[in-house]
Amino acid sequence: MANERDAPKPAPAKEGAGQKSAGTGKDAAAQKGQPAKDAAPKSDAAEPNPAPPLLSIPLAGSMQEGLTMGEMVVRLDTYDDIFSDFDPRPHARRELSDDLLKELGRRYRENPKGDFEVRFYIPASVREPRLEGVIRKRLKEHFGQERQKARAQVRAHRQKGMTYAAVGFALLVGDLLLTLWQPDMLWVKVAALVLTPAGWFSLWTGLEKMVEVPYALAQQHDFYDRFAKCNYIFMTEELE
């Protein structure tokens, strides 16, 4: 009996600890089933679309109706950027800027197929619609004149080929006549050794010049022809 009285009794469980653990379990369940209240709400507002690139501007007027053409964009500070600084004449007769012609030529070589449209973007403060018509006419006139020069060069190249072919044919005919006239004479045989290869060389060279035009000359003519026919549009530059 003494041993039973002296044995230590187990400590009673604390009610607060049990309630706290139960409460912790309920809070965890609630956190699993419900979203956090402190989370930032998602914004339903659509982000603004970025401004379209410069080359994606749709063509104006009838150009929008399924017509695709190569688009070249040139930014100008003033209308004088199109013309040469060394030519003081009016815009209707003024020479074009070498920098502009080189830039157009470079862009043409990148995409030489199809039609072209050149767009000049210029600040609204310096725009003059009446002057733009004069400049547009001057551009077409310049490229039209250069196209005529290129055509003349192509024609001269082919005429030179005809001359070569005619000389070669004449040499071959002369060689044939000499051979038929005095076939046994030494000087006729020597002449035949010279006239025959010279005649054939001149004939084939002439035919080649008549049929084929040098690549550089053909490209130059095509460049002037495309820009003589292309559209030139002046547009107001939008300030960002």
Task: Say if pTM beats, i.e. exceeds, 0.85.
Answer: no
Q: What is the percent of the chain with per-residue pLDDT over 90, rounded to a whole number?
A: 42
Return d(Cα 82, Cα 98) in angstroms, integer: 9
Return d(Cα 52, Cα 202) in angstroms, integer: 60
User: How is the chain split into domains, by residue range?
Assistant: 68-236
Return d(Cα 136, Cα 130) in angstroms, integer: 10
Return d(Cα 84, Cα 91) in angstroms, integer: 10
- Per-residue confidence band for 147, with pLDDT thresholds at 50, 70 and 90: very high
Return d(Cα 80, Cα 87) in angstroms, integer: 10
Return d(Cα 203, Cα 176) in angstroms, integer: 15
Tokens representing 85? Answer: 């600084």
Return d(Cα 203, Cα 198) in angstroms, integer: 8
Residue 199's Cβ-count burial label (10 Å; 0-12, 13-18, 19+) is buried
Tokens representing 111? Answer: 């995409």
Tokens representing 209? Answer: 């010049």
Q: Is the pLDDT of residue 68 over 50?
A: no
Mention every residue, 6+ apart, whose C-beta is less than 8 A from residue 58: 64
Q: What is the pLDDT of residues 229-238, one digit of tens each?
A: 999 999 997 6
b/e map 162-173, b = 16+ CB within 10 Å: eebbebbeebbe
Q: What is the pLDDT of residues 82-136, one digit of tens each?
A: 999 999 999 999 999 999 999 888 888 887 776 778 999 999 999 999 999 999 9
Nearest to 222 by CA among 146, 121, 165: 146
Q: Residue 32: its pLDDT value, please?
A: 43
- Residue 75's alpha-carbon distances to 82, 122, 162, in angstroms, are 10, 6, 47
Q: Residue 133: its pLDDT value, please?
A: 93
